[in-house]
């Protein structure tokens, strides 16, 4: 276990201008490079082969400005995006001497704390470096390349740079412990599923569209067209790791870290009845953490269970950060793997004083847990 940090060698955004239809547009660029910091965990299966998981904070430095006639910038606005990156990397070391070169590759995931832009949430990473030990600590300078998927840009050309190069330094201390994290008292696994309720309430609101009109002399004027905007909630995919501690036969505590995107369909109908194209927007990237007391009842080859406890969410916009969760399901063994489909219901607290996210307070989901270890 250890720390990892450094900086990006590439800008977070491409210096691009996205034109509006029939008129000037908006320019996006990065005013500076980003710094990166976080923690790392590595499990060595063999002397040369290991699996590394990092959790790294990175604020994408982005600036937005509208472009007026003649290329003049107006309303220059820094628009940073707070992100956490989670690369999961297979790692191979060469040699056994004091200096050990290594290569690494694997998927990388990303969540955002605000949505000035809509970064993609997955990519693939690869890198290489050299590791040495000094006073009991391993130092590993690394050059890492990540290719992110294209971001959601509501149909406009993407502004973010998908190719990212980072210079990182990992500092860790190896352990010689024989601790087995998967045993009769602990289960490790993952939870995946889908929302049974939409993530956002359906709503509408008055809008005013500002449309450019080109004049005969080549300049532009603008006209305001009133209308109504419509938002319709969608059901999201849910996934994340799970840890269950078995306190006694039939009783345990489960903690999950579940990630999902709050997405909506959006469209506008102008006063004269013209409907715009429907586009899908990501309103928020959510991490929620249910902490559930779990009671199991043995019934032949299957084990029904009920669960209840508090749930927490990372702070974001006006979203409530706390709620209460209850659920029920059935668990079964497939050799060493435990499979547990269930239905969960969560009631979230009232939203913050400022802003309105549109997120529903009562949500239901269908989940399936997969885990190893734990009491049989």
Q: What are the tens digits of pLDDT across the range 12-49?
A: 988 877 765 445 677 888 888 999 999 998 888 788 88
CA 27/CA 17 separation, integer angstroms = 4
The pLDDT value given to residue 109: 85
Least confident of 81-90, 96-105, 154-163: 154-163
Q: Which of the residue ranges 86-90, 258-262, 304-308, 359-363 has the most confident prediction, judged by mean pLDDT? A: 304-308
Same fold, 2-172 and 186-373: yes
Least confident of 169-178, 179-188, 330-339: 179-188
pTM for the model: 0.63
The pLDDT value given to residue 22: 45
Q: Is the pLDDT of residue 204 over 50?
A: yes
Computed on alpha carbons and rounded to an integer, the radius of gyration of the chain in Å comes to 25
CA 174/CA 135 separation, integer angstroms = 12
Q: CATH class for domain 186-373?
A: mainly beta
Split at pLDDT 50, 70, 90, the class of 159 is confident
Quote helix, strand, coil % in the chain, to nearest 5.
0, 70, 30
CA dihedral defined by 314, 286, 346, 323, rounded to 10 degrees?
20
Looking at per-residue confidence, does 159 or 143 come out higher? Answer: 143
The pLDDT value given to residue 271: 84
User: What average pLDDT does the segment 223-250 reach?
Assistant: 88
CA 140/CA 101 separation, integer angstroms = 9
For 70, phi and psi rounded to 5 degrees?
A: 85, 10
User: What average pLDDT does the segment 161-189 reach?
Assistant: 80
The pLDDT value given to residue 193: 92
Q: What are the tens digits of pLDDT across the range 90-112?
A: 999 998 888 999 999 998 888 77
Residue pair 10/165 in contact (Cβ under 8 Å)? The answer is: yes
Least confident of 46-60, 169-183, 307-321, 358-372: 169-183
DSSP reduced 3-state for 71: helix
Quickly count: other Cβ atoms within 10 Å of residue 141's Cβ: 13
DSSP reduced 3-state for 292: strand
The pLDDT value given to residue 371: 87
Q: Which of 207, 299, 200, 295 is nearest to 244 (CA)?
A: 295
Split at pLDDT 50, 70, 90, the class of 366 is very high
CA 117/CA 151 separation, integer angstroms = 9
Q: What are the tens digits of pLDDT across the range 268-299?
A: 898 888 888 888 877 777 889 999 999 998 88
Environment class of residue 104 by beta-carbon count within 10 Å: exposed (0-12), middle (13-18) or buried (19+)? buried
Q: Is the pLDDT of residue 6 over 50?
A: yes
The pLDDT value given to residue 290: 95
Enter the CATH code of domain 2-172.
Answer: 2.40.160.20
Q: Is the pLDDT of residue 11 over 80?
A: yes
Q: Is the pLDDT of residue 210 over 90?
A: no
Residue pair 255/287 in contact (Cβ under 8 Å)? The answer is: no
Q: Is the pLDDT of residue 300 over 50?
A: yes
The pLDDT value given to residue 354: 52
Looking at per-residue confidence, does 274 or 138 come out higher? Answer: 138
The pLDDT value given to residue 311: 95
Where along the chain do its domains lie?
2-172, 186-373
The pLDDT value given to residue 175: 67
CA 105/CA 107 separation, integer angstroms = 7
CA 26/CA 157 separation, integer angstroms = 11
The pLDDT value given to residue 122: 83
Split at pLDDT 50, 70, 90, the class of 155 is very low
Looking at per-residue confidence, does 75 or 51 come out higher? Answer: 51
Residue pair 285/121 in contact (Cβ under 8 Å)? The answer is: yes
User: What average pLDDT does the segment 153-172 reach?
Assistant: 79
Split at pLDDT 50, 70, 90, the class of 115 is low
């Amino acid at each position: 276990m250890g720390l990892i940090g450094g900086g990006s060698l590439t800008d977070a955004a491409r210096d691009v201008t996205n034109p509006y239809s029939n008129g000037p547009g908006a320019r996006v660029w990065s005013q500076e490079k980003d710094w990166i910091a976080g923690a790392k965990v590595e499990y060595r299966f063999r002397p040369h082969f290991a699996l590394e998981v990092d959790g790294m904070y990175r604020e994408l430095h982005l600036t937005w400005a509208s472009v007026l006639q003649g290329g003049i910038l107006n309303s220059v606005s820094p628009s940073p995006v707070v992100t956490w990156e989670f690369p999961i990397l297979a790692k191979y070391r060469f040699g056994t001497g004091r200096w050990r070169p290594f290569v690494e590759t694997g998927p990388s995931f990303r969540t955002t704390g605000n949505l000035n832009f809509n970064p993609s949430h997955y990519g693939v990473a690869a890198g290489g470096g050299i590791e040495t030990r000094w006073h009991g600590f391993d130092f590993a300078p690394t050059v890492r390349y990540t290719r992110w998927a294209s971001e959601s840009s509501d149909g406009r050309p993407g502004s973010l740079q998908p190719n990212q190069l980072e210079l990182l330094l990992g500092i860790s201390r190896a352990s010689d412990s024989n601790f087995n994290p998967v045993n009769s008292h602990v289960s490790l696994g993952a939870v995946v599923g889908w929302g049974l309720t939409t993530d956002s309430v359906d709503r509408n609101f008055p809008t005013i569209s500002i449309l450019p009109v080109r004049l005969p002399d080549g300049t532009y004027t603008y006209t305001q067209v009133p209308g109504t905007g419509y938002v319709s909630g969608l059901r999201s995919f849910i996934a994340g790791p799970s840890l269950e501690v078995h306190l006694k036969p039939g009783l345990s505590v489960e903690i999950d870290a579940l990630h999902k995107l709050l997405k909506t369909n959006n469209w506008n109908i102008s006063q004269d009845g013209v409907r715009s194209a429907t586009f899908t927007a990501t309103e928020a990237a959510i991490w929620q953490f249910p902490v559930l007391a779990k009671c199991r009842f043995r019934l032949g080859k299957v084990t029904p269970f009920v669960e209840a406890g508090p749930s927490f969410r990372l702070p974001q916009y006006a979203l409530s950060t706390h709620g209460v969760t209850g659920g029920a399901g059935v668990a079964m063994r497939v050799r060493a793997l435990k499979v547990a489909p269930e239905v969960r219901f969560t009631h979230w607290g009232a939203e913050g004083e400022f802003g309105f996210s549109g997120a529903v307070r009562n949500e239901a989901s269908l989940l399936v847990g997969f885990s190893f270890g734990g009491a049989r």
